[in-house]
A and B are shown apart, each in its own frame.
Chain A
Amino acid sequence: MTERLIKNSFIHGEEMILNIGPQHPSTHGVLRLRVKTDGEIVSEVTPIIGYLHRCFEKHCENLTYEQVIPYTDRCDYIASMNTNFGYVVAVEELMGIEVPEKVEYIRIIMAELNRIASHLLALGTFGLDVGATTPFLYMFRDRERILDMFEMVCGARLLYNYMWVGGVSHDLPVGFVEATFKFLDDFEREIDEYNNLLTFNKIFIERTADVGIMTPEVAIDYGVSGPNLRGSGVKWDLRKNDPYSIYDRFDFNIPVGEGTMGSVGDCWDRYWVRVLEMHESVKIVRQALQQMPKEGNVHEALPKKVRPPKGSVYKRTESPRGDLGYYIISDGKPSPIRLKMRSPAFTSLSVLNEISRGWMISDVLAVLGSLDIVLGEIDR
């Protein structure tokens, strides 16, 4: 299926190399694509990365454990709460810290709200890539409300530095719970609006269904995770399969792609999985808000000095883009001796050549949009 167009075209012309990016609105950041084309059919895509490289991992070796947290914000800047979450969970496991109940619930609420915000941006820009401008504005309107709530909680809109080792920086403000409930009630209605605007639009379906099919085998071979993997029909979610924090207390489903509009693992499936995941996140936030203890000091378990004992830890969490892992080696000093971050967007990008070979140039951009990459995380 992937090689469909190449095989069917019996006339082979001269191959041309087309350069997309680094400054291109469809590359979602500073990514350069070297596309080898035969006419309009793509025979090879080479992503060239590194324009946003900031030496995150090397830099962490010179920072104390607390000071690393603002830098993790800047890796996946669309879902900073989740990158913070993965890091603090890893350090806590290394130090053996038990965080209070309330902190666990606050973290879940923040991570899931951020997941919704991240998916909204992913779906909106995907729409932009295939030529739908209006849904993007609707989705940004709702994302704005989530960012307003984050601003209410920690003062920042994008780079939060909210989760600390052993706690969170601020307690929930008065009125946050009510505001979140109100948002969730509104938001579930808004999802139907998006579906009518974009998801079931015939033009959108024609652009995305049966395009860029990633079979489960390919996805697993390349190590793709998160919504992209689930879009291929593989039921794998770390929140269920390897629960961290208190995710085992919540009742939610793992949506997988079923090939509703085309075949399993096409762009539309990856899109649809994200829409369904927003429903699941709403469910989790609702349950967390209801179960959350009213009392509790969020600074209770903060260690005086974050100085983990000698040893190493690898902890993976489910970020909106997939399997986000931190490998931390400590030698008992205030700063880590080595910190490795396993970025889910990097593996998602690596599969691009495999699944977009044989399609048209405009399909490559659709595939790239459906993979939902963040260059801050790929280059780090």
Chain B
Amino acid sequence: MGRYLVNIWESVSTMLIGLGITGKHLLRAKNGNVTLQYPEEKWPRPERNIGFDHQDYNVIRSRLVVDINDCTGCKKCERACPVGCISVEALKVPKGTDLGVTSNDTIKRLLVTRHDIDMSECMYCNLCTFPCPEECIYMTGGPNSHKTPIDYEFSEYDRNNLIYKFAVATQEEIDSYTIPVPVTPAPEGAKA
């Protein structure tokens, strides 16, 4: 009998302690400090400046972007990707062709004919952004936020729209390098 009453007393008292904590938080609660009405309200975009001078610090896990004008077609990002969602194809152009330079003043020697990233396969491991010698592949925001603002909402109705095609080389441009132009026969011994 005594044990029975003690049990009831313990249940009630410990429950009241718990309710007290809940009540304390109820009184302390600020309006809307937990729930946000998502499409209307949004969490503030996190401050991503890591606070160092290192420009190569990219602390973002968001949409992948390639500055195709800086891409040299070295395929380092393709090799680094664990899931193989990046596919790069580059074309060797004849010697002497001027493809311009990247913003790091590296002379481009390959014409990037294809640079596709399948964002539906990407697992946001950030491994592709580190080996890039030109820092042209990055996740949006961060040190590159002046070029591409951070963006988390990129859902699509069609899965194919998640395959991002970055290459800008036109078909004529590609053809002009691949289809040999009939020229006068070169002198013997010369190599193309």
Give the chain A neighbours of B51 by CB distance below 8 A.
Answer: 173-175
Binds B, one of A15-23, A101-109, A150-158, A274-282: A150-158
Which residues of chain B are within 8 angstroms of A151 by Cβ–Cβ distance? Answer: 46
B146 to chain A, nearest CB (A): 18
Q: Is A159 an interface residue (CB 8 A)?
A: yes
Q: In the complex, which residue of chain B has the Cβ closest to the Cβ of A197?
A: B18
Q: Which of A135-161 contact B (CB under 8 A)?
A: 141, 148, 151-156, 159, 161
- Verify B15–A197 contact, CB threshold 8 A: no
1/0 contact string of A53-83 vs chain B (CB within 8 Å): 0000000000100111111010000000000
Q: In the complex the two chains form, is A155's CB within 8 Å of B14's CB?
A: no
Contact check, A156 vs B61: say whether CB atoms are below 8 A apart: yes
B177 to chain A, nearest CB (A): 33
B163 at interface, CB cutoff 8 A: no
Q: Which of A73, A134, A141 contacts B18 (CB 8 A)?
A: A134
Please tell me if the beta carbons of B46 and A63 are within 8 angstroms of each other in the complex: no
Minimal Cβ-Cβ distance residue in A for B59: A155
Q: Is the CB of A154 within 8 A of B123?
A: no
A170 and B59 contacting across the interface, CB-CB below 8 Å: yes
Q: Which of B106-114, B124-132, B164-172 contacts A (4 or more CB under 8 A)?
A: B124-132
B183 within 8 A of partner (CB)? no
Q: Which residue of the partner chain, among A63, A174, A193, contacts B50 with CB atoms under 8 Å?
A: A174
Q: Among the listed B17, B50, B125, which residue makes an inter-chain contact with A161, where contact means beta carbons less than 8 Å apart?
A: B125
**A70 neighbours in B (Cβ, 8 Å):** 82, 123, 125, 127
User: Which residue of chain A lies nearest to B20 when distances are taken between CB atoms in the complex?
Assistant: A196
The count of A-to-B residue pairs whose CB atoms sit within 8 angstroms is 78
Query: Is B176 part of the binding interface, using a Cβ–Cβ cutoff of 8 Å?
Result: no
Say yes or no: is A202 at the interface (Cβ < 8 Å to chain B). Answer: yes
A203 near B: Cβ within 8 Å? yes
Please give the distance in Å from B14's CB to the nearest CB on chain A.
5
Verify A171–B52 contact, CB threshold 8 A: yes
Report whether A159 and B59 are in contact in the complex, using a CB–CB cutoff of 8 Å. Answer: no
- Whether A159 touches B124, Cβ cut-off 8 Å, given contacts A67-B80, A197-B18, is yes
- Within 8 Å of chain A (Cβ to Cβ): is B22? yes
* B60 within 8 A of partner (CB): yes
Name A173's contact: one of B17, B50, B139 (CB within 8 Å): B50
Residues A202 and B82 in contact, CB atoms below 8 Å apart? no
A174 touches B52 (CB 8 A): yes
Known A-B contacts A155-B60, A201-B15, A203-B11; A66 and B21 likewise in contact (beta carbons under 8 Å): no
B18 in contact with A152 (CB, 8 Å): no
The chain B residue with its CB closest to the CB of A171 is B52
Residues in B with CB closer than 8 Å to A169 are: 126, 130
Task: Check if A200 is an interface residue, CB within 8 A of chain B.
Answer: yes
Known pairs A67-B82, A171-B52, A174-B50; A161 contacts B59 (CB<8 A): no
Q: How many Å from the CB of B27 to the closest CB on chain A?
A: 15
Report the bound CA distance from A214 to B124 in whole Å.
41
| Chain B minimum-CB-distance residue to A135 | B18
Chain B nearest CB from A319 CB (Å) reads: 20
When each residue 179-213 of chain A gets 1 if its CB lies under 8 Å from chain B and 0 otherwise, what string results? 00000000000000100111011110000000000
Interface residues on B, range: 20 to 34
Number of residues from A at the complex interface, CB < 8 A: 33
Report whether B57 and A203 are in contact in the complex, using a CB–CB cutoff of 8 Å: no
Residue from A148, A152, A161 in contact with B126 in the complex, judged by beta carbons closer than 8 Å: A161
Known A66-B127, A155-B59; contact A71-B82, beta-carbon cutoff 8 A: yes
Q: Is B10 an interface residue (CB 8 A)?
A: yes
B-facing residues in A287-345 (Cβ within 8 Å):
none
B15→A203 contact, CB < 8 A: yes
Is B7 an interface residue when CB atoms closer than 8 A count as contact? yes
Smallest Cβ-Cβ distance to A156: which chain B residue? B61
Interface residues of B in 13-60 (CB under 8 A from A): 13-15, 17-18, 21-22, 34, 46, 48, 50-52, 57-60
Across the interface, which residues of B come within 8 angstroms of A200, CB to CB? 14, 17
Give the residues in chain B near A171, CB-CB below 8 Å. 50, 52, 57
Chain A residues within an 8 Å CB radius of B13:
202
Asked if A196 and B46 sit within 8 Å, CB to CB, the answer is no
B53 → A minimal CB distance (Å): 11
Residue of B nearest to A172 (CB): B50
Closest to B126 in A: A161
* B residues less than 8 Å from A73 (CB atoms): 125
A-B contact pairs, 26 of them (CB 8 A): A66-B80, A66-B127, A70-B125, A134-B18, A151-B46, A154-B59, A155-B48, A155-B59, A156-B126, A159-B124, A169-B126, A169-B130, A170-B50, A170-B57, A170-B59, A171-B50, A171-B57, A173-B52, A173-B59, A193-B21, A196-B18, A196-B21, A197-B22, A201-B14, A201-B18, A202-B14
Given A66-B127, A67-B82, 17 other A-B residues pairs in contact with their CB atoms under 8 A = A67-B127, A134-B22, A155-B60, A159-B123, A161-B127, A170-B57, A171-B50, A171-B52, A171-B57, A173-B50, A173-B59, A174-B50, A197-B17, A197-B21, A197-B22, A202-B13, A202-B14
Top 8 A-B pairs ranked by shortest CB distance?
A174-B51, A67-B82, A70-B125, A202-B11, A155-B59, A202-B10, A155-B61, A173-B50
